[in-house]
Amino acid sequence: MNVPVALSITLTYLLVALCIGVRARGGRSMARLEEWGVAGRSMNGVVLYLLIGAGSISAYTFMGAPGWAYSKGVPVFYVVIYLSYLAMVAWYFGPKVWALGERFGHVTQADAIRDRYQSPKLGALAALVMSIGTLAYAVLQTIGAAYILDVMSGGAIPRWAGVSVVLGIMAIYLWLSGQRAIGMTNAFQGALMLVIAWLIGLWATHQASGDWWFGAVFDRLADQRPGFLTLPGADGSMSFAFWTTSILVSMVSFMPPVWMQWMSARSPTTLRRSATWLPTYYVVILPMVVVGFIGIFALPQLERADTVALTMAMQSMPAALAGLLGAGTLAAAMSSSEPFIHATAVTWARDVLRPALGLSEAATARLARWLLLAIMALIVAPLAITSPGNLVMILLIGLGFAAQVLPAFIGMFLWPRATPAGVTAGILAGFAVTLLGTLVWRNPLGVHAGFWGLLLNLPLFVVVSLSTRPVAREVTERFFAIMARH
Amino acid sequence: MPPRFVRPTSRRGWLLLAAFILIIAAGCWPVIALVNQPVRVLGLPLIALWAYGIVLASVAVMALGNRWLARSDPPAAEPEERVQRERSS
């Protein structure tokens, strides 16, 4: 492969993303956290569609999904289903979150939790613990981005340099433009991913079968490897129980950056319209999954399944196409990394340090921007460069926790009787069970550890809530008055 | 304030809730076991086509919900209106 051509295309993408991110500011002051954190609640439907779509897809589309297809087969499609359900969750809950934020000035998820339960401690706890999974996710995406630069440069850009370049570029536009940069760069990255994924998928299919549609690829699989076309998949790992519980647990995991994306919408109607069309974005996954299936025959001895698309690109694609794949994968990694780092900076400043130090609104906004740089330099960069072996485990635990915060949202949107004690008891019990089911007895009986957590969490939440004192009536009344209108 | 649990307040609300539950059930066991066959439709494995069928169904139900909401709700205030409202208050 012609490395200079492929690398220059990938680097051109980085420059374009930088320009878009810097220009996204548009002369606005970023002194208010509402502006830097949630773009002054001003994003239009198209930007929001691509922002949420690209943010939820991540490097998984270009590396993980083809890898799953390569090693397991059709179990990979559970992602398409749960992402569609997440869009329905956004359609239903997003406008309520937006209305709460607009009415009561919430910027973060923990902000809303603190207000609903009148507990700064519960808000700070939610902010800190949710950031475990959030940061682990951002670190993994950054590692993916650096890996792309390493591959596309033929090894000339080592991981430390790739991490520095990617984080450096993100730091510049996030510092200058905050959530507006995330919106505009994700819109660009989302559109780019969609085009590149289909270009690569169709090209690889045509090379492998002579057809432009995927049918011949699956015909061959049905003849020679039929185990890839049904559950539990070729490696037998995706039972019906694990498929179902993975979808349900993922569906109820309200990640903090997504919450902030909802609050960035111009209006509840804009958000609802974006959520309505959001599932259509996930056609981006199909062509890359087919690339993974093609790899089963083209690259039978591959050591790491998630490198199947890149390996195929390096071995057989024209340099321009390989460069585009590099750009698309980098876009996917960055579009997921940046909102997670940004959301962590905002929530640490607003929900942990502001109440602890008694900061003003303006000081909190300044602190959030400095925290962004500190998180990148002192947490994300060192972890991405050293890439500790237990990072994926930290991510799994973090994501397992995300689902366990469900009682806090049930109490916010659906059940006025929920109490801070009930929520705390449910979260802690659910988290402990998820931890055991992740570290000690992995997914007992083939059921997702987070689902076992919820089985204890939810009944405990109800029982403790019914036996403890609720927050002041006026608090639940003002929350549920908004629920009734949205 | 609702006394126990927030529930839909109209027939259309209940219909939407039922449609949401049906779509979620369509992606889970036992329904998924019914489409777990090694056959191909339109060139795709049945389970892949089913997944994208769920995509279309969820878009259709949300679009229907938007239409119903547009008929029953007053139009939401846009940012400019909000600013004017805040200035005048």
Task: Sketch the domain layout of chain A as residue ranges.
Answer: 3-386, 405-486
**pLDDT value at residue A254:** 85
> Mean pLDDT lowest for which of A129-138, A421-430, A457-466, B30-39?
A129-138
Asked, for residue B43, whether it belongs to a domain, the answer is: yes
Is residue A243 predicted with pLDDT exceeding 50? yes
Q: Alpha-carbon dihedral of residues A469, A473, A479, A485, nearest 10 degrees? A: 130
> Mean pLDDT lowest for which of A159-168, A468-477, B78-87?
B78-87
Which residues in chain B have Cβ-Cβ distances shorter than 8 Å to A212?
none
> Mean pLDDT lowest for which of A168-177, A237-246, A249-258?
A249-258
Which residues in chain B have Cβ-Cβ distances shorter than 8 Å to A91?
62, 65
Asked, for residue B54, whether it belongs to a domain, the answer is: yes
- CB neighbour class for A213 (10 Å; exposed up to 12, middle 13-18, buried from 19): middle
Amino acid identity, position A55: G
Q: Do A84 and B66 touch (CB under 8 A)?
A: no
Reported as a single tens digit per residue, the pLDDT across A266-299 is 999 999 999 999 999 999 999 999 999 999 999 9
User: Contact at 8 Å (CB) between A296 and A221?
Assistant: yes
Query: In chain A, which among 22-41 make CB contacts under 8 A with chain B?
Result: 41
Residue A243: count other Cβ atoms within 10 Å of its Cβ: 27
Q: How far is A120 from chain B (nearest CA, A)?
A: 24
Of B5, B24, B75, the CB nearest to A85: B24
Mean pLDDT over the full length of chain A: 91
What is the 8-class DSSP label of residue A358? Answer: T
**pLDDT value at residue B20:** 97
Residue A86: both structure tokens together:
């997440």
Asked, for residue B44, whether it belongs to a domain, the answer is: yes
Which residues in chain A have Cβ-Cβ distances shorter than 8 Å to B69?
272
Of B44, B66, B82, the CB nearest to A273: B66
Asked, for residue B89, whether it belongs to a domain, the answer is: no
Residue A342: both structure tokens together:
């940004």
**pLDDT value at residue A144:** 87
* pLDDT grade for A306, boundaries at 50, 70 and 90: confident
**pLDDT value at residue A446:** 92
> Mean pLDDT lowest for which of A202-211, A323-332, A471-480?
A323-332
Reported as a single tens digit per residue, the pLDDT across A149-207 is 988 888 899 999 999 999 999 999 999 999 999 989 988 888 888 998 999 999 999 99
**B16: containing domain:** 12-73
User: Contact at 8 Å (CB) between A448 and A246?
Assistant: yes
Which residue in A345, A64, A428, A87 sits closest to B27, CA to CA?
Answer: A87
**pLDDT value at residue A39:** 87
Q: Do B79 and A267 touch (CB under 8 A)?
A: yes
Amino acid identity, position A190: G
Which residues in chain B have Cβ-Cβ distances shorter than 8 Å to A244?
28-29, 32
Asked, for residue B84, whether it belongs to a domain, the answer is: no
Q: How far is B77 from chain A (nearest CA, A)?
A: 7
Asked, for residue B5, whether it belongs to a domain, the answer is: no
* pLDDT grade for A389, boundaries at 50, 70 and 90: low
Q: Do B1 and A279 touch (CB under 8 A)?
A: no
Helix (H, G, I), strand (E, B) or coil at A265: strand
Q: Which of A48, A52, A77, A280 to mutate to test the interface with B (most CBs of B within 10 A)?
A: A77
Q: ipTM, 2 decimals?
A: 0.90
Helix (H, G, I), strand (E, B) or coil at A97: helix
Q: Do B29 and A243 touch (CB under 8 A)?
A: yes
Count chain A–chain B contacts defined by CB atoms under 8 A: 138
Q: What is the DSSP string of B28-81?
A: STTHHHHT--S-EETTEEHHHHHHHHHHHHHHHHHHHHHHHHHHHSPPPPPHHH
**pLDDT value at residue A392:** 65
Which residues in chain B have Cβ-Cβ distances shorter than 8 Å to A294?
none
Is residue B89 predicted with pLDDT exceeding 50? no
Q: What is the pLDDT averaged over residues A9-16? A: 91
Q: Can you name the residues that pair with B44 across neighbouring β-strands?
A: B41
Is residue A443 predicted with pLDDT exceeding 70? yes
Share of chain A above pLDDT 70, in %: 99
Residue A284: both structure tokens together:
């981006």
Of B66, B75, B78, the CB nearest to A266: B78
> Mean pLDDT lowest for which of A230-234, A330-334, B36-40?
A330-334
Helix (H, G, I), strand (E, B) or coil at A332: helix
**pLDDT value at residue B88:** 42
Query: Going by C-beta distance under 8 Å and a sequence separation of 6 or more, which residues neighbour residue B13?
Result: none
Q: What is the pLDDT averaged over residues A420-439? A: 92
Q: How far is A215 from chain B (nearest CA, A)?
A: 4
> Mean pLDDT lowest for which of A222-226, A437-441, A482-486?
A482-486
Q: Can you name the residues that pair with B45 across neighbouring β-strands?
A: B40
**pLDDT value at residue A152:** 87
Q: Do A483 and B77 touch (CB under 8 A)?
A: no
User: Contact at 8 Å (CB) between A292 and A76?
Assistant: yes
Query: In chain A, which among 397-416 make CB contacts under 8 A with chain B?
Result: 413-416
A226 touches chain B (CB under 8 A): yes
Of B6, B56, B77, the CB nearest to A483: B6
**pLDDT value at residue B25:** 98
Residue A117: both structure tokens together:
């339960």
- CB neighbour class for A473 (10 Å; exposed up to 12, middle 13-18, buried from 19): exposed
Of A91, A266, A289, the CB nearest to B79: A266
Q: Do A480 and B55 touch (CB under 8 A)?
A: no
Q: Do B55 and A277 touch (CB under 8 A)?
A: no
The domain A3-386 having CATH identifier 3.20.20.10: the answer here is no
Mark A439-468 as b/e (b = at least 16 C-beta within 10 Å): eeeebeeebbbbbbbbebbbebbbebbeee
Q: Do A282 and B55 touch (CB under 8 A)?
A: yes
Q: State the total domains in chain B.
A: 1
Asked, for residue B53, whether it belongs to a domain, the answer is: yes
Distances (CA, A) of A409 to A117, A194, A461: 11, 32, 12
Q: Do A286 and B4 touch (CB under 8 A)?
A: no
For chain A, helix, strand, coil in percent to 5 are 80, 0, 20
